[in-house]
Amino acid sequence: MIISILNYKGGVAKTTTTLNLGTALWLLDKSVLLIDTDSQCNLTKALGFDPKTDGNETIYEMLTGKCHSFPIYERGKGLDYMPGSPALESIAKELPEYKKLTVLRHYLSQIATQYDYILIDCPPSASLLNYNAMIASESIIIPLECAAFSVQGSLKLIPDIEGIKAELNPKLTILGYLFTKFDKRTNIARQVKELFEQNKNVPTFKTTIRRCVAFDSTPIEHQSIFEFDAESNGAKDYLALAEEITKTKRKKNWKRKINPS
């Protein structure tokens, strides 16, 4: 399954969700590919990718035909990633018109069967790369911080999802709204959550991602929340989310190793 992690508002935990949900799915014995399509490269940085030492091929080189193999790097056995590049900012100028909207789907269709889940970390705006991601995906997860601007960002996204679904990708669905940075002690958090849950036509995950200070440190350490603090609320929440999506439970006393030597 190819899933875009998408909201036109920044700071709602898209990258945090891509990395930690992907790792949680992997801990449930799923094969996972993480993809960074944001020119800010936050996921790439969080993974600790250094083009000077790890390789100079990224998703940018793939999309523009500058490399002849898929720029896939291993984080753990069965957990791979495709790094982003600042050059993605100008990619619209480098692609011919006939490729602009479907180039990502073209490449992912060639490797989709190799993974149980492909998660795409998307830029926080309406953009060519986001349209590519929606066209290439089966589902969308919309991280939603329980705050007014986050809700506005998600509302601006809906017409684009509906347009892509109607014209270019009829299989596209919203897998769910994911409440992030959730603090049940605040009125706004409770009100936003209740507003969405009352609308039966809007899918929301039962799992919420609680505020967790450990998330502030994980990008600096180039670790997922599971490596940094496996007993934290953040780790428990993302594992619960992965279990909700897959409808499976993690095996007791079973571990997988990240960054094997």
- Across 98-207, the runs of DSSP E, i.e. the strands, are 117-121, 139-145, 173-180
For 209, the domain range is 2-246
User: What is the tens place of the pLDDT at every residue in 184-202?
Assistant: 777 777 777 777 777 767 7
**Which residue type is seen at 209?**
I
Question: What would the mean pLDDT of 123-140 be, rounded to a whole number?
Answer: 95
Q: Cβ atoms within 10 A of the Cβ of 19, count?
A: 30
Q: ∠162-153-22 over CA atoms, to 5°? A: 80
Q: Is residue 260 part of a domain?
A: no
DSSP run (H or E) holding 35: strand 32-36
CATH at residue 23: 3.40.50.300
DSSP single-letter state for residue 109: T
User: What is the tens place of the pLDDT at every residue in 40-68?
Assistant: 999 999 999 987 777 789 999 999 999 88
Q: Is residue 259 part of a domain?
A: no
Q: At 23, phi and psi to the nearest 5?
A: -65, -40
Q: Is residue 255 part of a domain?
A: no
| pTM summary value | 0.92
Domain count, the chain: 1
Q: ∠190-191-195 over CA atoms, to 5°? A: 120
